[in-house]
Amino acid sequence: MEILLDHEQDCPVPDGYILVENEVDFLRLATSGQSLLIRGRELCAWAEGFYSLRNLPVRVVESPGIALRRFFPELTNEQAKEIAQKIGKNFVSSDELSPVHILDACFPMDYPLWHGKPSLEHAAHWLLWWLGHHPTPAEKTILEKFASIMEQCAEDETVKSLYQATNAENAKVLLWQWLGAERPFMRDMKEFPVKLPPQWLQELKQVWMKRIVDSQGAFFAEMKFFPLPSDLRQEFAHLAAEYYIKNPHRLDRTVLGDIQLFVSHKIFSELEKHLPPSEPSTLPEEESAVLAWFENEYFPYRRWQATYGDENSRQIVLKHAHNFIRWLLKHYPLWLLGGENIAYQKSARLTINSSDMVIFCIILDGLPVWDASVLLQEISRVSRLTLLKKSYIFTTLPTVTEFAKEALLRGVPPNFTGQTPFLGETLPDNRSPKRHLRDVQPGQVIFWRVEQPDKAYHFEQEDKREKKIFSELQTIVREIEEVVNTTPDNIHLNIFITSDHGRLMNSHSPRQLPLEEGMKAHGRVAWKSCERAFPETGFVIYEKDGWIELDGERFGMRQNHCFRIAWNESCFNSSNGYEAYPHGGLFPEEVIVPWLVFERDAATPELDISISGEGEANMSSKVFISILNSSRMSLECQEIEISGENYLGKITAHKEIPPLDKVIFQEILAPWPSKIIERNLTAKVTFTLPNGKIYTQNVTPDLKVQILYQQSDDLLKDLL
């Protein structure tokens, strides 16, 4: 039995207690042995004397209203009563009175927010909470106290600033500054970490579009290095694309390239028709330079020509494709001797130094570079995967599955696949990989061979093909996400994605090349057993006939076989009509395929950066930059911003920083800072990651200011 005395008549009745409000009930229950809550000053005084004479203890319960005002003196009497009513039976002791306890009672559905610890994510939820609630003045007093506690407990200064929002107006201003919708923008803030509710996403898009229109598109470029999460970056890029489709005269190639990462091929093509790319330059000689030429020059022009070009642009493509073919056939036999230029050589190296991780290599059948962009956009939605490297490689010849895929799986050229085991466990297309990866151990290399999107290209009707391919890529991404989420968390998981061959970018390739008796054919290549004599180069180009003949043994394809490969854009005449996006040939887009590397739960890039130099104030001088990248992620240094009191200097870099490497380079800084701020300079270095995201790192630069002449204290001293 316990007797509680409620002098102020506002305490809630705890569970298991009987309320006593008059003398009759008191006399009836006073000695019943039950727990009582006695309410009212006179009745409490009577009860206290009654129980004192019988040596029975009583406990005075503090009024919730008084307790609330003691803890929160900003509350008025009426506000305290309002809060007390909302706390209700949950109020028993003033010891439990805290902003969290009160907010739990006032807003029980938001329990995770009140019990969370201050962090960037928690602060984001705090701002969004205000936009969806309208607390009373009494509730607002408690919320302000809660925000003050969060601000004091937060370790990061930027996080502290977000808890200063204690009303919907302030919360919206901070949110909009964080998302690049209201100035001054929070450029040093990390990406917004939670999904924006549809209502506020729509309003954000309206604000963004107003800024894009008002700036005549310049706002898109201004936001290039602004830290936006992938989903919002895509929304922003789509708004910019919508603007430039209506205003193509303001579009340039730089903007087009920035938009391309985040919009569909269809939208990008609509933009590109207004801005034809320049003709590709002369093909370089070095392998890595050729891959860069393909990505930055040949393929953009080829993509535009395939959709909007005329006969003249087609001839330009043929000229560059033929130069590439000659270059490839010159170098390919040398690559067979060793190195990692060919796809099968890259896959063979996956088994080296993989003891601390699980490697999951996905080989998509016939994934061309234009579909790889779509795949990347879809994978960017898998939150636990980070793109470490996006690159291109030369696939195995000939560019058909029968030869190229087995070479990838076994790490040898096609003429040795028959006697060579698989590099690792190989899962068929119809087997879900997630079940298998539940029980993996570090050091395992697992390959998954997928028949799409090749099936869709070969068998889908033209009007359904694009949708079918997109649907198949989405299915593959869902499988990848399930692998990411079901593979044990203690496993260091890296995922590689590539293809066995590319495709000719031609939706109507004529089947007009004749087949020699005994030849087998697939698309743009035909072969048969023969003992034909070849020149030392191992190939002969028959331009008039429209094909090239290759010695199968010299090119590692098949011994005692000769291969005919289309010279132009035709296919072999296995049937009449046309073939959409065939393969088997030697055009750049058939031979060059994507090589994508992802890591699950990748850590932030580990960079050691130093910036140094010496110069004269207000002049230009060299800055020496050293960046050591100890992560497995490749980055590109885009911009270095050096600032001090009344000083801002910017350097545009565009310097690739390979993984596990150190890069030293120099740039020009103008104007050089003054002597007075020499020791108070800060530098912000901005990088783009392979997935297009922005990463920044702050550095203290070591910039010295030269003093060419210093006045003597004694003006006549130097004359003596």
- Lookup: tokens for 421: 């085991």
Q: Is the pLDDT of residue 712 over 80?
A: no
Residue the block writes with tokens 């190195």:
339
Q: How far apart are CA 89 and CA 718, in angstroms?
A: 90
Nearest to residue 685, comparing CAs of 647, 649, 646, 645?
A: 649
Q: How far apart are CA 81 and CA 76, in angstroms?
A: 9
| CA terminus-to-terminus distance, the chain | 105
Q: How far apart are CA 19 and CA 12, in angstroms?
A: 9
Q: Is 434 helix (H, G, I), strand (E, B) or coil?
A: helix
Buried b (16+ CB within 10 A) or exposed e, 136-146: eebbebbbebb
Judgement on whether residues 365 and 441 belong to the same structural domain of the protein: yes
Judgement on whether residues 111 and 218 belong to the same structural domain of the protein: no
Q: How would residue 632 be classed by pLDDT, with cut points 50, 70 and 90?
A: confident
Nearest to residue 510, comparing CAs of 463, 542, 546?
A: 546
Q: Per-residue pLDDT tens for 59-75?
A: 988 888 888 888 899 99
Backbone angles phi, psi at 588, to 5 degrees: -50, -40
CATH number for the domain harbouring residue 685: 2.60.40.10
Asked whether the bond before 398 is cis by omega within 30 degrees of 0, the reply is yes
Q: Is the pLDDT of residue 626 over 90?
A: yes
Domain boundary among 178, 211, 231: 178
User: Does residue 646 form part of some domain?
Assistant: yes
Q: Is the pLDDT of residue 95 over 70?
A: no
Judgement on whether residues 611 and 689 belong to the same structural domain of the protein: yes
- Lookup: tokens for 447: 């390959």
Model pLDDT, residue 81:
86
Q: Do 377 and 476 contact (CB within 8 A), yes or no?
A: no
From edge to edge, which strands make up the β-sheet containing 539-542?
520-522, 525-529, 561-566, 547-551, 539-542
Q: How far apart are CA 323 and CA 337, in angstroms?
A: 23
Nearest to residue 648, comparing CAs of 609, 613, 684?
A: 684
Tally the domains of the chain. 5
Nearest to residue 316, comparing CAs of 292, 358, 344, 283?
A: 283
Q: How far apart are CA 223 and CA 236, in angstroms?
A: 9
Judgement on whether residues 392 and 495 belong to the same structural domain of the protein: yes
Q: Per-residue pLDDT tens for 467-503?
A: 899 999 999 999 999 999 999 999 999 999 999 999 9
Q: Per-residue pLDDT tens for 215-257?
A: 999 999 999 889 898 889 999 999 999 999 999 999 998 899 8
Average the pLDDT over 50-65 and give the result: 89
Judgement on whether residues 702 and 625 belong to the same structural domain of the protein: yes
Nearest to residue 64, comparing CAs of 86, 42, 48, 49?
A: 86
Length of the chain: 720
Domain span at 212: 198-308
Judgement on whether residues 171 and 233 belong to the same structural domain of the protein: no
Judgement on whether residues 304 and 365 belong to the same structural domain of the protein: no
Buried b (16+ CB within 10 A) or exposed e, 632-655: bbbbebbbbbbbbeeeebebebeb
Alpha-carbon Rg for the chain in angstroms: 35
- Lookup: tokens for 236: 């922003």
Cβ burial, residue 666 (10 Å; 0-12/13-18/19+)? exposed
Judgement on whether residues 112 and 152 belong to the same structural domain of the protein: yes
User: Does residue 252 form part of some domain?
Assistant: yes
Supply the mean pLDDT for the chain: 91
Q: Per-residue pLDDT tens for 377-433?
A: 899 889 899 999 999 999 999 999 999 999 999 999 999 999 999 999 999 887 789
Q: Do 692 and 635 contact (CB within 8 A), yes or no?
A: no
| Alpha helical stretches, state H, 36-136 | 41-53, 64-71, 77-87, 99-106, 111-115, 120-131
DSSP 61: P
Q: How far apart are CA 564 and CA 569, in angstroms?
A: 14
Average the pLDDT over 148-163 and give the result: 94
> Please, which residues have CB within 8 angstroms of residue 223's CB and are 6 or more apart in sequence?
180, 236
User: Does residue 230 form part of some domain?
Assistant: yes
Total Cβ atoms within 10 A of residue 273: 13
Q: Is the pLDDT of residue 560 over 80?
A: yes
Model pLDDT, residue 708:
65
Q: Do 44 and 53 contact (CB within 8 A), yes or no?
A: no
Q: How many helices (H) and strands (E) does the chain have?
A: 25, 26
Q: How would residue 204 be classed by pLDDT, with cut points 50, 70 and 90?
A: very high
**In one letter, which amino acid is 471?**
S
From edge to edge, which strands make up the β-sheet containing 571-572?
571-572, 509-513, 578-579
- Lookup: tokens for 224: 């290039």
Model pLDDT, residue 497:
97
User: Does residue 649 form part of some domain?
Assistant: yes
Residue the block writes with tokens 């602060």:
123
Judgement on whether residues 293 and 162 belong to the same structural domain of the protein: no
Which residues, in sequence order, are bridge partners of residue 657? Answer: 635
From edge to edge, which strands make up the β-sheet containing 635-644?
647-657, 635-644, 682-688, 694-699
Domain boundary among 600, 635, 660: 600
Q: Per-residue pLDDT tens for 284-294?
A: 999 999 999 99
CATH number for the domain harbouring residue 478: 3.40.720.10
User: Does residue 616 form part of some domain?
Assistant: yes
Domain boundary among 556, 576, 600: 600
Residue the block writes with tokens 């602004």:
226
Q: Per-residue pLDDT tens for 4-36?
A: 998 888 888 888 899 999 999 999 999 999 999
User: Does residue 620 form part of some domain?
Assistant: yes
Q: How far apart are CA 83 and CA 145, in angstroms?
A: 14
Model pLDDT, residue 604:
81
Q: Do 604 and 190 contact (CB within 8 A), yes or no?
A: no
Residue the block writes with tokens 């003596």:
720
Q: Do 94 and 62 contact (CB within 8 A), yes or no?
A: yes
Q: How far apart are CA 76 and CA 68, in angstroms?
A: 10
Q: How far apart are CA 457 and CA 125, in angstroms?
A: 45
Q: Which contacts of 433-436 are long-range, i.e. CB under 8 A and separated by 24 or more positions?
A: 433/360, 433/479, 433/483, 434/479, 434/482, 434/483, 434/486, 434/487, 435/486
Q: Is 99 helix (H, G, I), strand (E, B) or coil?
A: helix
- Lookup: tokens for 202: 């729509």
Cβ burial, residue 307 (10 Å; 0-12/13-18/19+)? middle
Q: How would residue 716 be classed by pLDDT, with cut points 50, 70 and 90?
A: very low
Model pLDDT, residue 71:
87
Q: How far apart are CA 77 and CA 504, in angstroms?
A: 79
Judgement on whether residues 388 and 485 belong to the same structural domain of the protein: yes
Model pLDDT, residue 715:
47
Q: Is the pLDDT of residue 717 over 70?
A: no
Residue the block writes with tokens 């170098």:
331
Judgement on whether residues 223 and 253 belong to the same structural domain of the protein: yes
User: Does residue 524 form part of some domain?
Assistant: no
Cβ burial, residue 196 (10 Å; 0-12/13-18/19+)? buried
User: Does residue 322 form part of some domain?
Assistant: no
Q: How far apart are CA 363 and CA 454, in angstroms?
A: 11
Judgement on whether residues 377 and 468 belong to the same structural domain of the protein: yes
Backbone angles phi, psi at 259, to 5 degrees: -70, -35
Which residues, in sequence order, are bridge partners of residue 621? Answer: 669
Q: Per-residue pLDDT tens for 597-616?
A: 999 998 888 899 999 999 99
Which residues, in sequence order, are bridge partners of residue 562? Answer: 528, 551
Q: How far apart are CA 672 and CA 143, in angstroms?
A: 48
Average the pLDDT over 340-356 and give the result: 88
